[in-house]
Amino acid sequence: MLTDMLIRIALAGVLGGLIGMERQMRAKEAGLRTHILVAIGSAMFMLVSKYGFADMLNDQHVSLDPSRIAAQVVSGMGFLGAGTILIQKQVVKGLTTAAGLWVTAAIGLVIGSGMYEIGIYGTVLALVVLEVFRRLSHLLIGKHHTIVVFLKAKSVPLVLLVLQREGIRYGHITVVNRNPETGLCELSVHVTLSHKTKDAHLYEKVMEIKGVQSLELI
């Protein structure tokens, strides 16, 4: 029984590490070590939940609910996942990594309960979603970016006109006055760039507009 428990913990760490490796290769907020620790911890919580109180079951007026500790892992992962979500220039980032940590915790719980096939199957599906679906999304839909332009206020409509002419889909627009005296402001535009869009070409078109001082693609 002890050997089986040790195997469950090790396997959970390996499966969590596979997801963490993919996240670290993408330079995300939570990487290899974080995912391994989440998977190992979840598996250990599951083992404690199932077997940790067996010596107390013979006592009178004592009953065991093996799901109580495991259930707390699900809610507790919300706090850890929230730590990976960042807001940069009004753009939310880290949601996929937070979801990956949540799935990793589920894999740890599944392996800890002894359902090896389900845990391995879940890991394979998670990797397919993170890698294969990412490429399909970029190919069919495009990549989401934020264009940040420092320019004169009167040049804002011209920048948006260039985006329309280039066939670039854009969404939320924010204009912040940085220097009322000089008329300089910061324009932030959420855009979706297809694989056909050339960053250098877009940069040249925007920088040609009179009043534009700088452009940054995030």
Q: With bands split at pLDDT 50, 70 and 90, how would you rate the model's confidence at 89?
A: low
Of 36-40, 74-78, 115-119, the range with the lowest mean pLDDT is 74-78
Q: How far is CA 193 from the centre of its chain?
A: 20
Q: Is the pLDDT score of 94 beyond 60?
A: yes
Cα gap 101→205, rounded to integer Å: 41
Distances in whole angstroms, Cα of residue 101 to Cα of each of 30, 49, 50, 84, 203 = 8, 20, 22, 9, 36
Cβ neighbors of 69 (< 8 A, separation 6 or more) are 45, 46, 48, 49
For residues 190 and 170, is the Cβ–Cβ distance under 8 A? yes
Q: Is the pLDDT score of 145 beyond 70?
A: yes
Q: What is the pTM of this model?
A: 0.72
Mean predicted lDDT score pLDDT of the chain? 84
pLDDT at 123: 95
- Delineate the domains of the chain, giving CATH numbers in brackets: 2-140 (no CATH), 143-217 (3.30.70.260)
Going along 48-131, which residue ranges are E strands?
A: 86-88, 91-93
Cβ neighbors of 172 (< 8 A, separation 6 or more) are 90, 188, 189, 190
**DSSP tag of 29:** S
Q: With bands split at pLDDT 50, 70 and 90, how would you rate the model's confidence at 78?
A: confident
Distances in whole angstroms, Cα of residue 8 to Cα of each of 1, 102, 108 = 11, 18, 9
Q: With bands split at pLDDT 50, 70 and 90, how would you rate the model's confidence at 204?
A: confident
Q: With bands split at pLDDT 50, 70 and 90, how would you rate the model's confidence at 3?
A: very high
pLDDT at 191: 84
pLDDT at 87: 61
Q: Is the pLDDT score of 13 beyond 90?
A: yes
pLDDT at 118: 94
Q: With bands split at pLDDT 50, 70 and 90, how would you rate the model's confidence at 168?
A: confident
In the three-class reduction of DSSP (H, G, I as helix; E, B as strand; rest coil), residue 33 is classed as helix
Q: Find, among 101, 132, 106, 102, the residue nearest to 119 by Cα.
A: 106
Q: With bands split at pLDDT 50, 70 and 90, how would you rate the model's confidence at 2?
A: confident
